[in-house]
A and B are shown apart, each in its own frame.
Chain A
């Protein structure tokens, strides 16, 4: 797997955009970037993934730099329910979903 680096924790005001960065400088050309989040004591939830182009769905947007060495997950209007640990992963081998420590996002009222 490409090694990913994320900040340990972040705070965001409710209603504001939450921008969660991820560095994956060793990513190879065919490795997708996946984002998941885990709300306390629940199973992780898939958010979004991408290869080269920016992606958007009903949950979030994913911005991938042109050199693909980093990406940013954007929650456009964070709510208290978005408080969770967010994981960025870039699996290389088939089935090799290795989760790191992620970013603990706290949305403040």
Chain B
């Protein structure tokens, strides 16, 4: 139990469907992240939110739409996906500020495994 909960754990959707992935953290962190991990590939950073504002958007296609209504919740809205979008989607959180002060360790959820048919 990492304090970061992702739902659903598994999702199968057609290319015309609209679905959402949810992430909730109970750690009091104020930065949240979405990563994508395709089979046999490294984790790819998709989006980062700090204090509910998007601070990173790594050239992700518009069919992925993030939403961060508050510092504890993060969503990834999915629409008109392609089969190559099938992957494990991982949410993480960290304390603000990250990195330079050495307090930015990431806490990951277990991931949502997405299959696009």
A-B complex: 7 closest residue pairs judged by Cβ atoms: A43-B108, A99-B43, A46-B105, A95-B48, A32-B102, A91-B99, A44-B108
Contact between B88 and A41 (Cβ–Cβ < 8 Å)? Answer: yes
Enumerate chain A interface residues (CB-CB to B < 8 A): 30-32, 34, 36, 41-46, 49, 51, 91-102
A34 to B43, CA, bound (A): 15
Contact between A43 and B99 (Cβ–Cβ < 8 Å)? Answer: no
Contact of A95 among B50, B108, B111 (CB under 8 A): B50
Interface-facing stretch out of B61-69, B71-79, B90-98: B90-98
Q: Which secondary structure dominates chain A's binding surface?
A: loop
Contact between B97 and A43 (Cβ–Cβ < 8 Å)? Answer: no
Known contacts being A95-B48, A98-B45, is A43 close to B56, with CB within 8 Å?
A: no
Contact between A43 and B90 (Cβ–Cβ < 8 Å)? Answer: yes
